[in-house]
Amino acid sequence: MSSALHIWHPFTHAALDPAPIRVQRAEGVYLYTADGRKIIDTISSWWVNLHGHANPRIAAAIAEQTRKLEHVILAGFSHEAAEELAERLRKWAPEEMTHLFFSDDGSTAVEVALKLAVQYFKNQSRPEKREIVALARGYHGDTAGAMSVSDESPFTQPFQSMRFPVHRVHSAYCYRCPLGLTRESCHIECVQQLEGLLEDRGSQIATVIVEPLLQGAGGMIVHPVEFLQKVRALCTKHDVLLIADEVLTGFGRTGKMFACDLANVTPDLMCLSKGITGGFLAMGVTLCSDRVESAFRSEDRRHTFYHGHSYTGNALACAAANASLRIFEDEPVFDRIATIAKIHAERLGQMRGMHQVGDTRQIGTVAALELVAEDAGYLSSLRPKLYGFFLERGVLLRPLGNVVYVLPPYVIEPDELHRVYDVIVEAIETLL
């Protein structure tokens, strides 16, 4: 027999990056490797894990579901696990969100939101209102539509021809303010670019998509809440739908269940994924308001939302999501989150004075250090050095170029988190 196929690893250069590490099992915050190492997963395995690896409650819920129903087509059918999830999300989602559309991951949740926004106006005989606005430094996924609303980056560069045009406006990146202002004295002038655009072209614009309060892959950029509030107000004024991409920020990451809760903002559409199943199975969900859904309820069959994926509403993923939400309901998850946030604040505060640290940012359980680098950006030469240094010390951190961030599962213990920071300090002192 010929040898096995080669696994093509994501975001990995086969010749330049180290060989992938084989993980045999994982538990809590630790990955156990085939070569006998124990690695602490402080990026929650690409930001998905909430309650620890191999969480027994989620594992048991999935196992139980496999014995009842693994999957059924969701067009024309429904099932108990999906309905239970709709009920559980009701408790946490903004009151104005009335409908839930399933998909497969964060990117597809974004595709669904964009398509719903465009068809919303089309169904109301306003097809001219179809343009899309997105933020500088935004990241919304790797499928074609999600890539189009994401800002230009090394990720999108080869695919310029596949990206549809969108209006790009400033985000609130205070450390590198696009207007050269400082947060202490500014009045969120960065939002004026969006304001001008909506005044000029509001009648053609369908939607504005944002990562609320935290732009993740763009460099863990934390926005002032006022920025999001002003975006919301402008969208309302110009009858433009606001999409909150909470794929990263959802499920407690920012200290509240959703980032929008922190800013007291209600979007028209909301994208969820990553933490929704506690990190066990892939699932995307797009929530929308009654106002949005009502445009699809006419007598005209052409007003149907013709979109769906084979595994839409998968019963095992729904069971995992239900178990994860039950953990939110009856374990002190928000106390764990508060403990992480406190340690982040304390340790970032101590590192702020280091000359190698340009900026520190934090929102809830997410902390970031933007290190001073001549080649700042995702392809910074610092990145591979830092990544290797951390791994040699048993810590999984995947810097975004010169930005080191810590985004742990909520079950990390204080002494474990402190150790991660000790390794970061050692890396900065050794490598920079």
Minimum CB–partner distance for residue 248 and ligand PLP (Å): 4
Instruction: Select from 67-75, 138-146, 171-179, 329-337 the region that touches ligand PLP (CB under 6 A).
Output: 138-146
Nearer to ligand PLP, 110 or 428 (CB): 110
Give me 215's structure tokens: 């732009």
Assign residue 380 a region (left: φ > 0; alpha: ψ between -120 and 50; beta: otherwise).
Answer: beta
Identify the three-state secondary structure at position 127.
coil
Minimum CB–partner distance for residue 382 and ligand PLP (Å): 21
Task: Choose which of 105, 111, 131, 195 interacts with ligand PLP (CB under 6 A).
Answer: 105
Instruction: Select from 20-28, 170-178, 241-249, 355-363 the region that touches ligand PLP (CB under 6 A).
Output: 241-249
Angle between the N-to-C axes of helices 315-330 and 56-68, in degrees from 0 to 180, rounded to the nearest 10:
140
Instruction: Select from 136-144, 220-228, 367-375, 415-423 the region that touches ligand PLP (CB under 6 A).
Output: 136-144
DSSP E strands in 140-213: the ranges are 167-169, 205-210
Q: Which residues contact 381 (CB under 8 A, 6 or more apart)?
A: 373, 375
Q: Which residue is nearest to ligand PLP (CB)?
A: 106
Are 139 and 151 in contact by the 8 Å Cβ rule? The answer is: yes
In order, the DSSP letters of 341-407 are HHHHHHHHHHHTT-TTEEEEEEETTEEEEEE--TT-STT-THHHHHHHHHHHTTEE---BTTEEEE-
Nearer to ligand PLP, 326 or 398 (CB): 398
Nearer to ligand PLP, 105 or 370 (CB): 105
Identify the three-state secondary structure at position 277.
helix
Task: Choose which of 52, 216, 313, 409 interacts with ligand PLP (CB under 6 A).
Answer: 216
Are 262 and 256 in contact by the 8 Å Cβ rule? The answer is: yes
Give me 251's structure tokens: 């499920």
Number of residues that bind ligand PLP (CB under 6 A): 14
H helices of 238-381, in order, are 259-263, 290-294, 315-330, 333-351
Minimum CB–partner distance for residue 217 and ligand PLP (Å): 5
Longest dimension (CA), the chain: 69
**Which among 83, 121, 130 has a CA at the least distance from the CA of 102?**
83
Instruction: Select from 124-132, 197-205, 210-218, 399-407 the region that touches ligand PLP (CB under 6 A).
Output: 210-218
Minimum CB–partner distance for residue 66 and ligand PLP (Å): 23
Minimum CB–partner distance for residue 353 and ligand PLP (Å): 30
Instruction: Select from 221-229, 245-253, 288-296, 354-362 the region that touches ligand PLP (CB under 6 A).
Output: 245-253
Minimum CB–partner distance for residue 142 and ligand PLP (Å): 6
Which residues, numbered 139-198, are part of the site for ligand PLP (CB under 6 A)?
A: 139-141
Task: Choose which of 49, 55, 148, 273 interacts with ligand PLP (CB under 6 A).
Answer: 273
Minimum CB–partner distance for residue 8 and ligand PLP (Å): 16
Q: Beta strand pairing status for 131-135 and 205-210?
A: parallel
Minimum CB–partner distance for residue 123 and ligand PLP (Å): 25
Nearer to ligand PLP, 89 or 217 (CB): 217
Task: Choose which of 248, 288, 333, 411 interacts with ligand PLP (CB under 6 A).
Answer: 248
Residue that has been written with the tokens 């939302």 in this structure = 305
Instruction: Select from 134-142, 292-300, 322-330, 420-428 the region that touches ligand PLP (CB under 6 A).
Output: 134-142
Q: Beta strand pairing status for 403-406 and 167-169?
A: unpaired
Task: Choose which of 106, 278, 313, 408 interacts with ligand PLP (CB under 6 A).
Answer: 106
Beta-carbon-side half-sphere exposure of residue 337 (alpha carbons within 13 Å): 20
Our CA dihedral for 114, 115, 117, 120, rounded to 10 degrees, sits at: 180
Binding residues for ligand PLP, per CB under 6 A? 105-107, 110, 139-141, 211, 216-217, 245, 247-248, 273
